[in-house]
Copies of this chain bind each other. A is one copy, B any other.
């Protein structure tokens, strides 16, 4: 798994960690029953504080994406894949919706909007 943390985009680090786990589950990179990297390992890899990772994991646990296996770590739950896929799509869909609402509100035409979208889609370099 390749995780990247951006400490200067306003999104809390723990949220980025949680999302990346969810996205990994959604896209099959992490399967049901598989263990997620340990708190300490993940903290080391990302060069962040273990508590921050723990917070992300706690959130995932609250959402039913992972569950503790006592003494051995956190495992992806059975219902995680479904949850993560829909969560991922909802996240993207809502943001698209919001920006389109604002675009309309500031009197951009649908044509202009589509043009911008297509421009950005062509930009394969968008990481």
Asked if A116 is at the interface of the complex by the 8 Å CB criterion, the answer is: yes
Known: A120-B96, A120-B100. A70 touches B107 (CB 8 A): no
Copies in the complex: 4
Asked if A113 is at the interface of the complex by the 8 Å CB criterion, the answer is: yes
Chain A interface bracket (under 10, 10 to 19, 20 to 34, 35 or more): 35 or more
**Alpha-carbon distance between A114 and B114 when the two chains are bound, in angstroms:** 9
For the complex, would chain A's binding face be called helix, strand, loop or mixed by DSSP majority? helix
**Alpha-carbon distance between A114 and B92 when the two chains are bound, in angstroms:** 12
Q: List 13 A-B contacts (CB under 8 A).
A: A7-B70, A23-B105, A26-B107, A88-B108, A89-B106, A92-B116, A96-B99, A96-B117, A97-B120, A100-B120, A101-B127, A105-B127, A114-B117
